[in-house]
Amino acid sequence: MIKPEFWSIPADTLTPAELMDKIVALKQRLLDITSRFSDVRFATSLAAEDMVITDAIAKTKANIRLFTLATGRLHQETVDMTKAAERHYGLTLHKAYPLESDIQEFIDQYGMNGFYDGEEAKKACCSARKIKPLNTALLGADAWITGQRREQSTTRVELNFEEGDEARGIAKFNPLFDWSEADIWAYIKQENVPIHPLHLKGYPSIGCEPCTRQVKKGEDIRAGRWWWLQSDSKECGLHVNQ
């Protein structure tokens, strides 16, 4: 039986000068955001893109509050990565937890792992464990930041640097919107950014443990997210403005 090859960290493709231009531009974007808004928050998953932004925030000392969605179904490696990032950068990541009542309501209707049954159940689980906690974590903010990139999936190809988050009535920024996967990893290598251990095991995209698998070489980088659903169902609802 042939053992499958899994995704691996891409090789560098940028020249040192090109990478430096990217780094300078990213830091300027963050500073521009904080010059325009007084309460900016960043939702980090601890995966590669979000660690790049975390590194840039720390090095610019931009006034941005960092938080993570503690869904209750994360890999142990993600929990450990949260602590590692806090130690490395000397900061505290606010943990946004789901309400026990919301989780119990989902379990009562669908079962603990009912999200495997289809799109409706998956959305209900993401709503309880991610969207509602995100809404709470963003209360009082006038802008928030994500690690989304155009290259990540077909649902993000028209992504812009700045968006209006109509659902929450605040501004939303994607400072890595025009970065490639290779750009991300070039930054991480150059700036000695801590790496989530699952990236070294074939996971380019990391979410909750039951809903994330390794990605085979040649697959879409988000193929490991909600793999039992159609390819157009690779979003949890965090980035849907409605």
* pTM for the predicted model, two decimal places: 0.92
Backbone angles phi, psi at 35, to 5 degrees: -75, -20
Q: Which pLDDT value is given to residue 3?
A: 81
Note whether residue 10 is domain-resident. Answer: no
pLDDT category, 152, cuts 50, 70, 90?
confident
Note whether residue 183 is domain-resident. Answer: yes
Domain span at residue 28 reads: 16-202
Note whether residue 242 is domain-resident. Answer: no
Q: Which pLDDT value is given to residue 141?
A: 98
DSSP for 51-90, written as a single string = HHHHHHHHHHT--EEEEEE--S-B-HHHHHHHHHHHHHHT
157: domain CATH number is 3.40.50.620
Q: 227: which residues sit within 8 A by CB, 6+ positions away?
A: 213
Catalytic residue list: 236
Number of domains in the chain: 1
Query: 181-191 and 48-60 are packed helices; what angle lies between their axes, rounded to 10 degrees?
Result: 50
Share of the chain above pLDDT 90, in %: 84
Note whether residue 9 is domain-resident. Answer: no
